[in-house]
Structure 1
Amino acid sequence: MEKTLNQTSESAQKTNEILSVENSKNDETVIKTYSFDEALIEATKYFKGDELAANVWINKYALKDSEGNIYESNPDQMHRRLAKEIARVELKYDNSYTEEEIYDVIKDFKYIVPQGGPMTGIGNDYQIGSLSNCFVIGNDGNSDSYGGVMKVDEEQVQLMKRRGGVGHDLSHIRPKGSPVKNSALTSTGVVPFMERYSNSTREVAQDGRRGALMLSVSVKHPDAEHFIDAKMDGTKVTGANVSVKIDHDFMRAVKSNSEYKQQYPINSDNPKYTSSVNAKTLWDKIIHNAWKSAEPGILFWDTIIDESIPDCYADLGFRTVSTNPCGEIPLCPYDSCRLLAVNLYSYVENPFTEGATFNYEKFNKHVGMAQRIMDDIVDLEMEKVNRIIEKIESDPESLEIKQTELNLWQKIKTKAIQGRRTGVGITAEGDMLAALGYKYGTPEATSFSTDIHKNLALAAYRSSVDMARDRGAFPIYDAIREEKNPMINRIKDADPALYNDMVKYGRRNIALLTIAPTGTTSLMTQTSSGIEPVFMVSYKRRKKVNPNDKNSRVDFVDEVGDSWEEYHVFHHKFNTWLEVNGYDTTEVAAMNEEDLAKVIAKSPYHGATANDVDWVEKVRLQGAVQKWIDHSISVTVNVPNECPEELVSEIYLTGWEEGCKGITVYRDGSRSGVLISNEEKKEDEIINKFLETNAPKRPDKLEAEIIQFNNESEKWIAVVGLLDGRPYEVFTGAAKESFSILSQVQNGWVIKSKSEDGKTRYDFQYEDSHGYKTTIEGLSRTFNEEYWNYAKLISGVLRHGMPLNFVVDMVDDLHLNDETLNTWKKGVVRALKKFIPDGTKPAENVCPSCKEPSLVYEEGCLNCKSCGHSKCG
């Protein structure tokens, strides 16, 4: 049980004295800040030259304040911060871990890795935020009034501003065309509210990123087909992932090609509205859309509910209604979860050799520690939530304005206290298997993985039961409520003594386990991600050749005459395999494709990458492991572009039959904004794909550069407005009259404002050598109508993020009859080409952040393998 104040006072006093001495000795360290470059140098040393991992760590996890000041220069400082805070919580309880014991298992990202919110927020007193990665919200009952809709919208925004990912279900909204008691007379249905919630997501910034949202609806809902089609034109609901909740009756109707009853309310014994659909026809639409765009995802809802331990307490407020954005945590309204990953690769001894073994003893010990650390993080989260509540209460706004936010966090606090939910997971499954000589996607590998996850589950549950004995069970624990739960009964069969102790002492946590996406986490562990196979063994990079370097190799010359050398960057653990097997990694990196393929073919990664594995066997792996995960698994089945729709259907059907709780299939090249394959695409397809995003909001003031060009014999200039260093809009005009001075200016700012008549106007401002600012009014006034319309077209595609090489191609291909317009076109092309990095054309899977051709789709997100950029939704 938790110690009393008297019991802990002596040890706490000693700890405070130590901390006080440390702080007095290290006052400079406490307040020291680092420039980005300073931190990058130190972090790159820490990651042994891996600048990508260093960048990701600094941008996402290093301790910062709201002004962007950086207080840590390498992850070791972060791990000390985390260990100190977790040890402070441990002191509240018997048999507490020391700071050194905690530090030893989290340092170097080797064994236990807190993910996301915990890594960023623990010990961060500079920002008021939550440690939770995942939230689900919703109204009690079936409220679909506008008041209820607006409340959910506000709650979603309030959570996202604290960096949380949010999910909520729309099945309570009445179907399109049904009567309502207001001036509208009939309901608009589910889709308009999808758009509302999506737009809210896009409006909330999270340290330079937008929030993540999951919207779900039951297949039983009469608007299910509209929900399924809502994202297909690529212009709507761009701020959310969408998933359909599918029940057993629907799947059986699909297999028998029979009718399926839809109704509203979906769980009513006496529904107001009913309809009948052919299940196979609706299923084929789901499959087609998933094949074409990777959405909707599927949640096998009856499996989720039947297996859910928290749903044993549904009448006490723990009825699961939706999932977080990546689907790995099904939750009840106002519950939340924090995430942590155990690095499986680190338990392989003598990796990539015939003597490779898995250290079960160390693994089981560390899993027990991971579960206890996660429970400590629940306590740390309560401190964070209390700070949020205190801030809301002290805000000068009236209670009327802040009441919804205040109620929201009080509900979240109550749920966390009642359930103490945790999210212990794993990463590096693919590397673990390869290091042991297993080929991912084979029955032998699946069998071994299942045993690992069974051990993990038993060790975590043993830890939670031991904590219940020492610290107390979660307040609403009731063994009788859980006695028929399938997960509990698997534990009972596998370890009767553990089950008997659980009945006797209870359990500290209502649910414990998950497998979450570990995209950025795996960049820092330098391993494969989550339960996924290695995405690719080798990535091609390019570097510009110095003409004076006699030892360089020229692989191709680009259109402007620059020479480039291509080389290979390898997955970290493939490098380890190379070294263990006596290869010179530098020599292998310089090999041509044919020779490199021969080397890869000798490795355990051959035929076992994301696009190579037996896709149905991968789903069987997910289903087998799911039996030992009480929450869910975030996983993406990657299939090639030529994959037929029938295979996608087979994958989904296998997922249901094998007991998966959810599944997503990504067909190479199908996701808007990322084109993975190297095949040439038609220009209009490319343009459409890159227009399937909303333009980022224009600030009132944009940096700008000026480029001069000739329009026939006349001198013209192009003013290119830049957002984050990338062209966002373009203005052109003749360099005469008041514009003549711009011929002597290189850069400045484009300022957007409203004129007296209410129309939008754009002015140019620059600063001379003496620091005086001059404003030139009316950038567009020398345009004739035709120039202005073409400029608006070009600016439009720039704002929507089309890669610059495609913008240049589009402008170059404009069919302009007038010779003057053609020379103007060439000037604009020249102006835009200046901003294409190094004069090269980025590949089709270009990252919007670093512009490298390194975007991949995995675990429900677009992840960049070059800079760590991640976008879920």
Structure 2
Amino acid sequence: MITDLGKIPGAISDVDSNMPPLSPNSLRVLEKRYLKRNRAGEIIETPEEMFRRVAGAVASAESLYNAGADNSAVAEEFYKMMVRLEFLPNSPTLFNAGTEAGQLSSCFVLPIPDSVEETFEAVKQTALIQKSGGGIGINVSRIRPRGAAVGEHLNTAGGPVALIHVFAGAADYIRQGGVRRGCNSVIMSVDHPDIMEFIKAKNDPEVLTNFYNSILITDDFMDRVRSGADYPLIDPNSGKTTGRLSARGVFERIIDQAWHTGDPGLVFADRINRDNPTPLLGRLETITGCGEQALLPHESCNLGSINLVRMLKDEGNGLEVDFDQLARIVPLAIRFLDNVIDVNKFPVPAIEAATKRTRKIGLGVMGFADMLVMLGIPYNSTRAIAVAEEIMEFIGNHAREASHRLGLERGSYPAWQGSTHQTKGISMRNASCTTIAPTGTLSIIAGVSSGIEPNFAAVFVRNILDGENLLEINPQFERIGRERGFFKQELLETLVSCNHLHNRDEVPEDVRRIFVTAHQVSPEWHVRIQAAFQRHTDNAVSKTVNFPHSATREDIARVFMSAFEQGLKGITVYRDESRELQPLCTSQTGLELIGKLFRDQTT
């Protein structure tokens, strides 16, 4: 048992805990979504107090394993890690830790059996999860097809696509944690008889806006796509073959729909299950809201991300990755995430039981693109891939080692017997340790690029906060621009309107070379970067391959096939302006915000 703080792997007691300056957008997001309010709606805590609240609540788990634990000392270490923006947990932990709500997980998977009673029990659980701040993932592949018989009544089944709208309505009605809409996913197996209806389920941009649709794809299906063969459709209720379709034809329909709307994405079932740590508990067939986590029925997962911008050092020869700092933060973050499981207030007992059976956690990263800029490395380069491999391999190894040590200290996860870890003779506290999540608002708080995505643009408008528009100017671009004298109003107005940084001669060539934005990154490089992280990540990697509006269906087909061939667990694409409202955009609105910014600076 650990009784002394100095023995805690990752302890950073000697590090100053002062919080870095927060951007106006960071403060706006914290005020709008995260900081506690009284019954009158007035904010009653500061960002530092929020981190104190979270750290104290999560550190209280220490006493469960050691009656003499110094919880306050552990809380101080957790606090320093968060207040210095070196690591942030998922949003529900920031919302709810130390509050009456107390639900700290971000993502849940619910089973959807082919039964009215069980299905609407899942709808009820969806409402409870959404209310507590979580998002859901469901798989509707077990629902009998539309028009199938129900008992003695012929042609009466509504089918899985109709059922999705029921779940979407429940999720949309209840704002997550009272402050945000649900991040949810729905998946269907490619061999379901209603697959063609599912593919076009989001053809209307006004429907299912709070769900991401994906198709569960097998290796066999992809082989048939390449060979041009047919494949069978299987009725999940009877197990009988109800028809056959051209695999290539279905693949082309998926591509066409993704070109139109960005949905559906692909989830590669066999690739995921080759990494399933507990195969005796069943196959992994459902993913969470943004595709980063495959879970068993009723499992939940709590996520957290290391801010790579804070993992750099300068010892006189320019910036480089501070692996000593990473080695301190990773085990502390793993301990934090494992503690979250024990202090969590789960929405239903079945979720608590399933979660504690495997104790899955997901440590990832954010700020990767900004870190590359600071290192002088273009995102679309072999050097970037090498850095991605080196960093994620280091994090993955240290995360698993930290979980191994926690397993020795606290005991392995209950489903360890029969797991791949038991086969290898390795004690592990957590069945899985690493995940690359999208980090949406967390990256705004930290003031860095999201997850492992390239920077969307040097200057853009973010559509969040119930329609409120936030002007985002990349801090690295602003820093370099001010240092070298090209940070001017005219330039920003041009960039927010067209995002063509690479064509602006007033920006030095070396800056244009390293400040690569999303639409300059070819689809090939998007996939290669994602694959580099995936090779060293236990779970999946959330990433979107951004296409310009001019992209063709053939471009998307190449990405889908490349994602499969490079071993990704899933792939999502988005063609610019294929949806009327998108969360990130360059726009006329930005001109007004830039004008206000420069007026404010001169007054």
Does the alignment reach a TM-score above 0.5? Answer: yes
The residue aligned with 1:190 is: 160
How many angstroms does 1:604 deviate by? 6.2
Distance 1:131 1:281, change over 3 A: same
For 1:165 and 1:176, locate their aligned partners in 2 and report how far apart those are by CA, in whole Å: 26
For 1:852 and 1:189, locate their aligned partners in 2 and report how far apart those are by CA, in whole Å: 47
* Alignment deviations for residues 710-757 of structure 1 (CA, whole Å, 9 cap, x no partner): xxxxxxxxxxxxxxxxxxxxxxxxxxxxxxxxxxxxxxxxxxxxxxxx
How many residue pairs were aligned? 563
The residue aligned with 1:622 is: 530
Of residues 178, 185, 200, the one that matches 1:229 is 200
For 2:294 and 2:229, locate their aligned partners in 1 and report how far apart those are by CA, in whole Å: 29
Of residues 75, 78, 89, the one that matches 2:50 is 78
For 2:302 and 2:125, locate their aligned partners in 1 and report how far apart those are by CA, in whole Å: 19
For 2:82 and 2:241, locate their aligned partners in 1 and report how far apart those are by CA, in whole Å: 54
The DSSP-based 3-state class of the residue aligned with 1:338 is strand
The residue aligned with 2:406 is: 467
- Residue 157 of structure 2 aligns with an amino acid whose one-letter code is S
The residue aligned with 2:542 is: 634
Gaps of 5+ in 2: 6-17, 463-470, 496-500, 595-603
Q: What are the residue-to-residue correspondences of 1:70-219 with 2, within 5 Å?
A: 70-72=43-45, 74-93=46-65, 98-109=74-85, 111-125=86-100, 128-139=101-112, 143-183=113-153, 185-206=155-176, 207-219=178-190
Of residues 241, 248, 251, the one that matches 1:273 is 241
Under a length normalisation based on structure 1, what TM-score does the superposition of the two structures give? Answer: 0.60
The DSSP-based 3-state class of the residue aligned with 2:453 is coil
The DSSP-based 3-state class of the residue aligned with 1:411 is helix
2:380 paired with 1:441: yes
The residue aligned with 1:527 is: 448
For 1:602 and 1:588, locate their aligned partners in 2 and report how far apart those are by CA, in whole Å: 20
For 2:132 and 2:269, locate their aligned partners in 1 and report how far apart those are by CA, in whole Å: 29
Q: Does structure 2 conserve the Cα–Cα contact (< 8 Å) formed by 1:675 and 1:845?
A: no
The residue aligned with 1:298 is: 266
Distance 1:177 1:433, change over 3 A: same
- Residue 84 of structure 2 aligns with an amino acid whose one-letter code is D
The residue aligned with 1:257 is: 228
Distance 1:653 1:591, change over 3 A: closer
Distance 1:470 1:638, change over 3 A: same
Q: Does structure 2 conserve the Cα–Cα contact (< 8 Å) formed by 1:674 and 1:845?
A: no
For 1:569 and 1:198, locate their aligned partners in 2 and report how far apart those are by CA, in whole Å: 30
The residue aligned with 2:13 is: none
2:329 paired with 1:366: yes
The DSSP-based 3-state class of the residue aligned with 1:167 is strand
Q: What are the residue-to-residue correspondences of 1:570-649 with 2, within 5 Å?
A: 570-578=473-481, 582-583=484-485, 585=487, 597-599=505-507, 601-603=509-511, 606=514, 608-649=516-557
For 2:585 and 2:307, locate their aligned partners in 1 and report how far apart those are by CA, in whole Å: 31
- Residue 56 of structure 1 aligns with an amino acid whose one-letter code is V
Higher relative contact order (CA 8 A, sep 6+): 2
The DSSP-based 3-state class of the residue aligned with 2:225 is helix
* Alignment deviations for residues 354-402 of structure 1 (CA, whole Å, 9 cap, x no partner): 6221111111221111101111111111xx23xx6xxxxxxxxxxxxxx
How many angstroms does 1:665 deviate by? 0.7
How many angstroms does 1:661 deviate by? 0.8
For 1:651 and 1:590, locate their aligned partners in 2 and report how far apart those are by CA, in whole Å: 32
The DSSP-based 3-state class of the residue aligned with 2:414 is coil
Distance 1:438 1:590, change over 3 A: closer
Distance 1:288 1:92, change over 3 A: same
Of residues 281, 306, 311, the one that matches 1:314 is 281
Distance 1:236 1:356, change over 3 A: closer
Q: Does structure 1 conserve the Cα–Cα contact (< 8 Å) formed by 2:380 and 2:521?
A: yes
For 2:222 and 2:160, locate their aligned partners in 1 and report how far apart those are by CA, in whole Å: 23
For 1:259 and 1:852, locate their aligned partners in 2 and report how far apart those are by CA, in whole Å: 54
- Residue 132 of structure 1 aligns with an amino acid whose one-letter code is S
2:298 paired with 1:343: no
For 1:335 and 1:219, locate their aligned partners in 2 and report how far apart those are by CA, in whole Å: 23
The residue aligned with 2:14 is: none
Of residues 53, 65, 77, the one that matches 2:26 is 53
Gaps of 5+ in 1: 9-44, 389-408, 485-498, 542-567, 679-841, 854-873
For 2:556 and 2:391, locate their aligned partners in 1 and report how far apart those are by CA, in whole Å: 28
2:454 paired with 1:507: no
- Residue 415 of structure 1 aligns with an amino acid whose one-letter code is A
Higher mean C-alpha deviation, range 361-370 or range 144-153: 144-153
How many angstroms does 1:247 deviate by? 0.7
Distance 1:87 1:162, change over 3 A: closer
For 1:843 and 1:113, locate their aligned partners in 2 and report how far apart those are by CA, in whole Å: 33
- Residue 133 of structure 1 aligns with an amino acid whose one-letter code is S
The residue aligned with 1:651 is: 559
How many angstroms does 1:677 deviate by? 7.5
Of residues 429, 438, 445, the one that matches 1:517 is 438
For 1:136 and 1:376, locate their aligned partners in 2 and report how far apart those are by CA, in whole Å: 21
The DSSP-based 3-state class of the residue aligned with 1:161 is helix
How many angstroms does 1:437 deviate by? 1.9
The residue aligned with 2:12 is: none
Of residues 253, 274, 284, the one that matches 2:252 is 284
The residue aligned with 1:565 is: none
Q: CA RMSD in A?
A: 3.1
The DSSP-based 3-state class of the residue aligned with 1:103 is helix
* Alignment deviations for residues 806-846 of structure 1 (CA, whole Å, 9 cap, x no partner): xxxxxxxxxxxxxxxxxxxxxxxxxxxxxxxxxxxx84899
Q: Does structure 1 conserve the Cα–Cα contact (< 8 Å) formed by 2:224 and 2:231?
A: yes
Distance 1:646 1:584, change over 3 A: closer
The residue aligned with 1:823 is: none
Q: Does structure 2 conserve the Cα–Cα contact (< 8 Å) formed by 1:324 and 1:330?
A: yes
How many angstroms does 1:47 deviate by? 7.0
* Alignment deviations for residues 399-431 of structure 1 (CA, whole Å, 9 cap, x no partner): xxxxxxxxxx11111112211111211100111
How many angstroms does 1:597 deviate by? 4.6
The DSSP-based 3-state class of the residue aligned with 1:243 is strand
For 2:325 and 2:173, locate their aligned partners in 1 and report how far apart those are by CA, in whole Å: 46
* Alignment deviations for residues 77-104 of structure 1 (CA, whole Å, 9 cap, x no partner): 1122222223332344468653332222
* Alignment deviations for residues 606-647 of structure 1 (CA, whole Å, 9 cap, x no partner): 462111112112202212211211111111111100111100
* Alignment deviations for residues 255-306 of structure 1 (CA, whole Å, 9 cap, x no partner): 111111221229xxx8223311111111111000000100011111111112
Q: Does structure 2 conserve the Cα–Cα contact (< 8 Å) formed by 1:326 and 1:634?
A: yes
The residue aligned with 2:11 is: none
The DSSP-based 3-state class of the residue aligned with 1:158 is helix
The DSSP-based 3-state class of the residue aligned with 2:507 is helix
Q: What are the residue-to-residue correspondences of 1:691-706 with 2, within 5 Å?
A: none
For 2:242 and 2:2, locate their aligned partners in 1 and report how far apart those are by CA, in whole Å: 53
The DSSP-based 3-state class of the residue aligned with 1:327 is coil
Of residues 420, 424, 428, the one that matches 2:367 is 428
Distance 1:122 1:617, change over 3 A: same
For 1:241 and 1:294, locate their aligned partners in 2 and report how far apart those are by CA, in whole Å: 9
Identical amino acids, percent of aligned pairs: 28
